[in-house]
Amino acid sequence: HNKPRLRRSLITSALIEKYSHLVQVINAPVASSCDLVGIYSSVHDVGMIQFLINAWSKWEAMGPDWEEDCCQPGWNGNGPPPLVPCHAAFRRDCNERVSSNVMGAFGYYCTDHITPIVESLVAELQEDASIICEAVNLALLKDSAVYAATTHPGHHSNHDNFGGYCYLNNAALCARLMQLRLDDTAGTKRVAVIDIDYHCGNGTASIFYRDPDVFFTSIHCDPEIEYPFNAGYEDQIGEGAGEGTTLHIPLAPGATWNDYKPALEKAMNAIIEFGVGGLVVSMGLDTYEGDSVPVR
């Protein structure tokens, strides 16, 4: 049910059709030479980034030796089937390390069995990185809001794990790039991220959980009921130097605007009190009335 390429196309087409008189549409620079390691290493483990870069070529090279359990179910296209995880490693057990076998490495880095590696992934991630870099540049130069329409989301990816249809964390990268560009005066290097997706932005929360200069807040469905289940609780407020810089606001299923509005006000007031020079909105729209995700 997750169709990221179609989703991006529909969103951008609708924006151009309905709001061309209000918005300026800018294409990011060509991204074929984009250095994913150099760009994302400030928020992600280099080994995980390199895995994502090399996974498809390794999978393709295995040819007929593909494990059936690692092939996306129901694949009937031409060429190699998309690669999906067929096992999971212990959570960073000191007795485990990354396998040189692509199927083993996938289970080491990925948190689920539904986030595939496909042939077009690296090119899409390079384009997404180019979009984020250009968006930050434009936002700071023009002192205006910029909507970065990437192919893939990212808020379920932490420092060295990915999943939930996310690979590299674009919101986290955006926040980090803003930090590097903002003037270091009057606390303006501080950045806030607000995640309004139906699901908690657990990956973004994890990346900044100990960072005193990034305030992260997420309004989402109660993790006792909905994915990602193990993160997004009210008592998870940050740790160490970052204690107090995480604000999770879980809501019950079926929440209406009467429930959501005070939650949003609470999040925004906390951001204002924190004092920031830049704001990143991690804008999942599956809270929208009638969306098939929250009405299940």
> DSSP letter string over the chain?
---HHHHHHHHHHHHHHHHTTT----PPPP-TT--HHHHHTTTS-HHHHHHHHHHHHHHHHTGGG--GGGBPTT--SSSSPPB-------TT-TT----SSHHHHHHHHBSSSS--B-TTHHHHHHHHHHHHHHHHHHHHHHTS------SS--TT--SS-BBTTB-S-HHHHHHHHHHHHS-SSTTTT-EEEEE-SSS--HHHHHHTTT-TTEEEEEEEE-TTTSTT-SS--TT----GGGTT-EEEEEE-TT--HHHHHHHHHHHHHHHHHH--SEEEEE---TTSTT-TTTT-
Which of the following is catalytic: 44, 156, 220, 248? 156
Asked if 156 is an active-site residue, the reply is yes
Which residues form the catalytic set?
156
